[in-house]
Structure 1
């Protein structure tokens, strides 16, 4: 289905129960939730096959967390993404609010959560499309482990992250702890989240979320 055939609201993330689980995940950011051995990508929870994630990709060691500084720009070179970042709060349903549809190429950062590069898991959300065009995270599901994500911060520093996991969580099997919980204690991590699966007209939402996980591997 082309984006112009989709009704309004197709860029929203999972509603209802899934958002309640997301809030649980935000609480779990500070908990010690692991996702397998560090340094090598390996099968974990969620539907990894649907995005073609390769196994056994060697990954660099983690960099020590940086001081907490707010983000201003997000770059994913492999996808050609260069987008401004704006802090977002919670919407009327109690969910982290993505940027308005009027700015589809802007990324939202959950501003009361972890700052990217600091200890914890920083959460970024973006639309996959609008009624008429692809949005900032349209190609996010094609991200692969080993690829780089750069976050420019308000002090001029750049936190360099390496993707270690790409998952698709369906609406009915959404696991907030696996999607948003910190994978390894003492590590600076990043989550990039957008819609995935197919659009369910009856529910008025996509059937899944794409969750790209990355961890800090350098700074400049």
Structure 2
């Protein structure tokens, strides 16, 4: 088997598990009807929620617009965004396996900036090279996530939670549900834990949560 084939196989078994759970969850309920009043705990291990970090106030949700690009300056992530839907099995269709530098956005859900949870997925690596979300697990509370939208505006989100969910006790509601139903939120999702060569799967998933804290309007938009 070629190196490319090995790499594709790793992508399939890595991110597919998370997007399958996410897709099945979306199939069964709306993504804006959850209210997690406190950060998720339990089996999920917090890696980016240090005590004493002051976070900015939430910005009111804004008019919907589609995402075009996502930038996370502290992680040196700059990537185009493509809309993805659900496949025949009810899973979110991830970005194509030959486009590991692209982030997928679930186009059937909330758009970043409007009330609800905008959902983004990206590959972590192949067997030969890092992919777009290779450094996502390094995100920390207070980091900025900027989403360039198709109306020319930039929605800025602030990370308020980073979790690693193991495969054995994964809770889709805790991973994907809103922390507060009155906010515009987003989730960034990729593989985590370790890669098990025997089963060709990752042992966990990284889920970064953030909420809207500012919007820079298009300079060409009338006031």
| Coarse TM-score class (shorter-chain normalised) | 0.7 to 0.9
Alignment coverage as a number of residue pairs: 210
Tell me how large the CA RMSD over aligned residues is. Answer: 2.2
Aligned partner of 1:100 in structure 2 is 96
Aligned partner of 2:179 in structure 1 is 183
Structure 1 residues 145 and 91, CA, compared in 2 at 3 Å: closer, same or farther?
Answer: same
Structure 1 residues 74 and 21, CA, compared in 2 at 3 Å: closer, same or farther?
Answer: closer
Instruction: Name the CA distance, whole Å, in 2 between partners of 1:137 and 1:180.
Output: 18
Q: Does residue 88 in structure 1 map to residue 89 in structure 2?
A: no
- Tell me, what secondary structure is at the counterpart of 1:209? strand
Instruction: Name the CA distance, whole Å, in 2 between partners of 1:14 and 1:195.
Output: 9
The one-character-per-residue Cα deviations of 1:138-184 (angstroms, maximum 9, x if unpaired) are 00001000000000000100000000000001111110110001110
165-174 vs 19-28, which moves further:
19-28
Instruction: Name the CA distance, whole Å, in 2 between partners of 1:68 and 1:130.
Output: 34
Structure 1 residues 53 and 14, CA, compared in 2 at 3 Å: closer, same or farther?
Answer: farther
| CA positional deviation for 1:15 | 2.3
- State TM-score, norm by structure 2: 0.86
The one-character-per-residue Cα deviations of 1:97-148 (angstroms, maximum 9, x if unpaired) are 2111211110000011100000000000000001311000000001000000
CA contact 1:43–1:55 (8 Å) conserved in 2: no
Name structure 2 gaps, 5 residues minimum. Answer: 217-223
Q: Does residue 202 in structure 1 map to residue 204 in structure 2?
A: no
CA contact 2:157–2:211 (8 Å) conserved in 1: yes
